[in-house]
């Protein structure tokens, strides 16, 4: 997230909301500042926030999937009068706090390496990787090096996929989300609407899917990793983050905010987001096992849901642009589907700092991990 004066109010209110989410529990969210060693209570030269998040990893040349940690880094900021590389230095030093001490040597000219007291270390377990979502392009974060010269947060331009499509008014005015009996959930076209109460069940389905995703990857040359959808707070985070700000409640769903839809093994999580996303846009934060066969009925359901609350566009990241799913999406008439790569400033580019091996790959870069 980018800090700027124009959005100060939204940022502060979102930060306030975030402090109450599960993600921030147990000091999961921390604020870091760079100060002079000789004057720790003095001026702040730069700051950032980290979110401690559980993750899954299949290490290089290993077969098993193991639990690990990662950190999402956000709100990187240098006070205007100190913009001389202090923000970059904070992130360079931070690698040596977040990662197990087997990184390249801490450069002598940076002084003594940072150290945490054992009690602090309990709150900041070693991580396999950390990531940023850059709104200032890819170069700045890649130069937040690990040691003198190992690339910091690497943005792979080809992985910043996005797809936009049009939400259309439903053709069938009479259609509705039917319930099969009193107390039953809403359904349409066999899609079950998901609410907060469904999240624990859905999260464990998503975790299993994420593990399968890793199992199927080759680790001969490098590790592969993903955030754990079951980890405290991550999956709810996009949804809860999206609640900052005033919205029309969803009338057809008893005014309760839906979190996604499910049909069989296929899960599609979505949210209305905050100031970083246009007000008329529905974001799909996470899909699992979505195929081109699911697409027509899924889009019908999203049309009906979205139109009720003034949504006109949909936005999704992280789909393989060569997949049959994406090609079918592009071929749908009237949807004005646009497939491309996020580029430049304000493009929310995922940059990954790899602490296990330099070739490690974050296999899932959908929108749900955008902080
Ligand atoms: C981005 C920021 C933290 C950098 O502070 P810093 O590390 O002290 O860096 P400096 O301002 O001295 O600039 C250092 C380098 O970063 C680059 N940089 C600074 N701001 C940049 C921006 N908005 N976009 C792209 N590059 C930028 C500079 O060009 C410079 O590059 P160089 O070393 O290759 O010459 C600071 O400009 C800031 O606080 N900006 C507002 C908040 C923000 O945009 N945060 C990032 C959110 S993703």
Q: Which residue minimizes the CA distance to atom 33 of ligand 1? A: 85
Ligand 1: centre distance to CA 90 (Å) = 12
Q: Check residue 5 and give its pLDDT.
A: 56
Q: Check residue 308 and give its pLDDT.
A: 87
| Atom number, ligand 1, closest to the C-alpha of residue 141 | 16
Q: Check residue 279 and give its pLDDT.
A: 85
DSSP code of residue 82: G
Ligand 1: centre distance to CA 239 (Å) = 30
Q: Check residue 183 and give its pLDDT.
A: 57
CATH architecture group of domain 5-157+350-369: 3-Layer(aba) Sandwich (3.40)
| CB 195, CB 259: distance < 8 Å | yes
Pocket, ligand 1, Cβ cutoff 6 A = 2-3, 46, 76-78, 83-88, 134-137, 140
Residues facing 58 on adjacent strands: 224
Q: Which residue minimizes the CA distance to atom 29 of ligand 1? A: 140
Three-class SS state of 295: helix
Quick one: how far is CA 76 from the chain centroid?
16
Ligand 1: centre distance to CA 83 (Å) = 7
Ligand 1: centre distance to CA 14 (Å) = 23
Q: Check residue 11 and give its pLDDT.
A: 57
- Using a 10 angstrom Cβ sphere, with 0-12 exposed, 13-18 middle and 19 or more buried, the burial of residue 118 is exposed
Ligand 1: centre distance to CA 48 (Å) = 13
| CB 268, CB 298: distance < 8 Å | yes
Ligand 1: centre distance to CA 98 (Å) = 22
Ligand 1: centre distance to CA 78 (Å) = 8
Ligand 1 pocket test: which of 87, 92, 344, 351 has the largest number of ligand atoms within 8 Å of its C-beta?
87
* Residue 102 phi, psi dihedral angles, 5° rounding: -135, 30
Give 300-324 pLDDT, tens digit per residue: 999 999 998 899 999 999 999 999 9
- Chain position carrying tokens 């009068």: 81
| Atom number, ligand 1, closest to the C-alpha of residue 78 | 39
Ligand 1: centre distance to CA 125 (Å) = 28
| Atom number, ligand 1, closest to the C-alpha of residue 86 | 8
Give 145-202 pLDDT, tens digit per residue: 999 999 999 999 999 999 999 999 987 665 566 655 555 667 777 899 998 889 889 9
Per the rule left: phi > 0, alpha: psi between -120 and 50, beta: everything else, 224 is beta
Ligand 1: centre distance to CA 86 (Å) = 9
| CB 248, CB 309: distance < 8 Å | yes
Q: Which residue minimizes the CA distance to atom 22 of ligand 1? A: 136
| Atom number, ligand 1, closest to the C-alpha of residue 136 | 24
Give start-end residues of each CATH 3.40.630 domain in the chain. Answer: 5-157+350-369, 161-223+249-342
Ligand 1: centre distance to CA 76 (Å) = 9
Low-confidence ranges of the chain (pLDDT < 50): 241
Give the H/E segment covering residue 359. none
CATH class belonging to 161-223+249-342: alpha beta
| Atom number, ligand 1, closest to the C-alpha of residue 132 | 48
Ligand 1 pocket test: which of 3, 74, 83 has the largest number of ligand atoms within 8 Å of its C-beta?
83
Q: Check residue 234 and give its pLDDT.
A: 63
| Atom number, ligand 1, closest to the C-alpha of residue 87 | 7
């Amino acid at each position: 997230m980018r800090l700027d004066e124009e959005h100060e109010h939204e940022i502060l209110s979102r930060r306030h909301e975030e402090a109450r989410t599960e993600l921030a529990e147990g000091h999961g969210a921390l604020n870091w500042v760079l100060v002079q060693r000789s004057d720790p209570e003095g001026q702040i030269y730069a700051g950032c926030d980290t979110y401690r998040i559980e993750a899954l990893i299949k290490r290089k040349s290993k077969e098993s999937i193991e639990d690990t940690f990662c950190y999402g880094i956000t709100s990187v900021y240098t006070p205007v009068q100190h913009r001389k590389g202090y923000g970059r230095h904070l992130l360079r030093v931070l690698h040596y706090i977040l990662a197990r001490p087997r990184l390249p040597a801490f450069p002598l000219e940076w002084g003594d390496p940072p150290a945490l007291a054992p009690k602090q270390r309990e709150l900041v377990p070693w991580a396999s990787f950390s990531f940023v979502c850059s709104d200032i392009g890819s170069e700045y974060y890649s130069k937040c090096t690990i040691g003198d010269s190992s690339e910091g947060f690497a943005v792979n331009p080809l992985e910043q996929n996005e797809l936009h499509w049009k939400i259309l008014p439903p053709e069938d005015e009479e259609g509705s989300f039917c319930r099969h009996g009193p107390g039953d959930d809403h359904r349409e076209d066999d899609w079950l609407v998901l609410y907060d109460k469904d999240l624990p069940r859905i999260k464990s389905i998503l975790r299993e899917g994420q593990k399968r995703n890793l199992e199927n990857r080759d680790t001969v040359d490098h590790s592969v990793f993903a955030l754990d959808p079951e980890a405290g707070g991550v999956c709810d985070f996009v949804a809860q983050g999206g609640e900052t700000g005033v919205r029309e409640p969803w009338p057809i769903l008893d005014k309760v905010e839906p979190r996604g839809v499910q049909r069989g093994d296929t899960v599609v999580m979505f949210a209305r987001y905050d100031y970083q996303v246009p007000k008329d846009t529905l974001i799909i934060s996470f899909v699992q096992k979505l195929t081109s066969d699911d697409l027509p009925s899924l889009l019908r359901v999203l049309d009906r849901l979205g139109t009720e609350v003034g949504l006109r566009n949909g936005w999704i990241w992280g789909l393989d642009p060569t997949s049959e799913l994406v090609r079918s999406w592009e071929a749908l008439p009237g949807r004005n589907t646009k497939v491309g790569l996020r580029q430049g400033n304000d493009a929310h580019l995922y940059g990954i700092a790899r602490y296990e091996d330099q070739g490690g790959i974050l296999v899932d870069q959908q929108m749900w991990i955008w902080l």
